[in-house]
């Protein structure tokens, strides 16, 4: 059983996002290790890019700091390899934008990502209709390109993407960029139900989830909860980021355990 399938034995899963290189390379590796070993079931590992169009100001600022600190695709993959050496055995999904991957070379990127220990890819600016080149680059690699769906996805497009999805589906709960919201979208339950009509693979919800209480609410509907902005903001503003990461992961994991009751 691969790592993604294994992770979803503990549904609903907790999937935090954190960018490599923020606030510096060494700290980001320590933070991701702390998240992994204190409650995260799967981690969305950020690959920084100068124009992160899907991300709100908190993540934009963090990835800009990472770039100023000298983070690159190559250094990011080396960091993933280091995490595996440290005993991190949960799935690590590389979340990044398409241009840096193209510049690196798609086949080389996929090969090096697999060798480093990555488990898949999330590419927000690569619509499924334009993903053939990347899919070809993956060849016989088992690493999936995780599809994204949103409230604005048409029924036909939702059905097509859901039926062909691998790994899990990243369901964007709101329109707009990443960031915390005060309340969970009123139509989220129906949106999840619509997606599940077309697939049996897990559906994870991201965008707008900022507190353990919101995670618990979403966890009662979805197979997983993705938390980005709150994770980056809470850890990034802490004087003790690694300890804060441990507490953050533990609190969200506990909330999701409550959602099962």
CATH classification at residue 235: 3.20.20.70
* Residue 121 φ/ψ, nearest 5 degrees: -135, 140
Structural domain contains residue 5: no
Beta bridge partners of 204: 170, 224
Tokens of 72: 């690159």
Q: What is the pTM of this model?
A: 0.94
pLDDT at residue 187, as a whole number: 87
For residue 1, tell me if it sits in a domain.
no
Cβ atoms 47, 95 nearer than 8 A: yes
CA of 64: how far to CAs of 32, 67, 97, 176, in Å? 18, 5, 14, 20
Q: Is 55 a catalytic residue?
A: yes
Cα–Cα distance measured from residue 227 to residue 1, given in angstroms and rounded to the nearest whole number: 25
Q: Give how far Cα 78 sits from Cα of 19, 74, 119, 143, Å.
A: 14, 6, 15, 18
Q: What is the 3-state secondary structure (H, E, C) of 193-257?
A: HHHHCCCCCCEEEECECCCHHHHHHHHCCCCEEEECHHHHHHHHCCCCHHHHHHHHHHHHHHHHH
Cα 92 from Cα 88, distance rounded (Å)? 9
| Residue from 166, 245, 179 nearest 206 by CA | 179
Residue 17 lies in a domain: yes
Specify whether the CB–CB gap between 2 and 28 falls below 8 A: no
Give the SS3 label for residue 19.
strand
Residue 49 is assigned to a structural domain of this protein: yes
Domain assignment of residue 15, yes or no: yes
Angle between helices 73-85 and 25-36 (to 10 degrees): 40
CB 37 within 8 A of CB 64: no
E-assigned strand segments in the chain: 13-19, 43-46, 92-95, 120-122, 148-149, 169-172, 203-206, 224-227
Residue 4 lies in a domain: no
**C-alpha span between 40 and 246 (Å, rounded):** 10
44 is catalytic: yes
Say if CB 234 and CB 35 are below 8 A apart.
no
Which pLDDT does position 252 carry in this prediction?
Answer: 98
| Contact present, 171 and 194 (Cβ < 8 Å) | no
232 lies in a domain? yes
Q: What is the pLDDT of residue 141?
A: 84
Domain-located, residue 135: yes
| Residue range(s) defining the domain that contains residue 48 | 10-259
The one-digit pLDDT tens for each residue of the chain (261 residues) are 599 999 999 899 999 999 999 999 999 999 999 999 999 999 999 999 888 776 788 999 999 999 999 999 999 999 999 999 999 999 999 999 999 999 999 999 999 999 999 999 999 999 989 999 999 999 888 899 999 999 999 999 999 999 999 999 999 986 544 544 455 777 899 999 999 999 999 999 998 899 999 999 999 999 999 999 999 999 999 999 999 999 999 999 999 999 987
Find the catalytic residue in 33, 41, 55, 223.
55
φ and ψ at residue 172, rounded to 5 degrees: -80, 120
- Structurally, how many domains does the chain consist of? 1
């Amino acid at each position: 059983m691969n790592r993604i399938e294994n992770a979803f034995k503990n549904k609903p899963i907790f999937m935090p996002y954190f960018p490599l290189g923020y606030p510096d390379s060494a700290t980001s590796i320590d933070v991701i290790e702390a998240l992994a070993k204190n409650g995260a079931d799967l981690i969305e590992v950020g690959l920084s890019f100068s124009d992160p169009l899907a991300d709100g100001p908190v993540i934009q600022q963090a990835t800009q700091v990472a770039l100023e600190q000298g983070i690159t695709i190559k250094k990011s993959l080396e960091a993933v390899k280091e995490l595996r050496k440290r005993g991190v055995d949960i799935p690590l999904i590389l979340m990044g934008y398409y241009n840096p991957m193209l510049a690196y070379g798609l086949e080389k990127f996929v090969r090096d990502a697999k060798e480093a220990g990555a488990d898949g890819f999330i590419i927000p600016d690569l619509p499924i209709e334009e993903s053939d080149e990347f899919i070809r680059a993956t060849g016989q690699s088992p690493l999936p390109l995780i599809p994204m769906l949103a409230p604005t996805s048409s029924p036909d497009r939702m059905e097509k993407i859901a039926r062909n999805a691998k790994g899990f589906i990243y369901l964007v709960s709101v329109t707009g960029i990443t960031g915390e919201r005060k309340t969970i979208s009123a139509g989220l339950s129906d949106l999840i139900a619509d997606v599940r009509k077309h697939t049996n693979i897990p559906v994870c919800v991201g965008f707008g989830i900022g507190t353990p209480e919101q995670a618990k609410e979403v966890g009662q509907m979805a197979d997983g909860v993705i938390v980005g902005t709150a994770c980056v903001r809470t850890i990034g503003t802490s004087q003790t980021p690694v300890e804060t990461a441990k507490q953050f992961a533990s609190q969200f994991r506990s909330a999701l355990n409550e959602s099962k009751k």
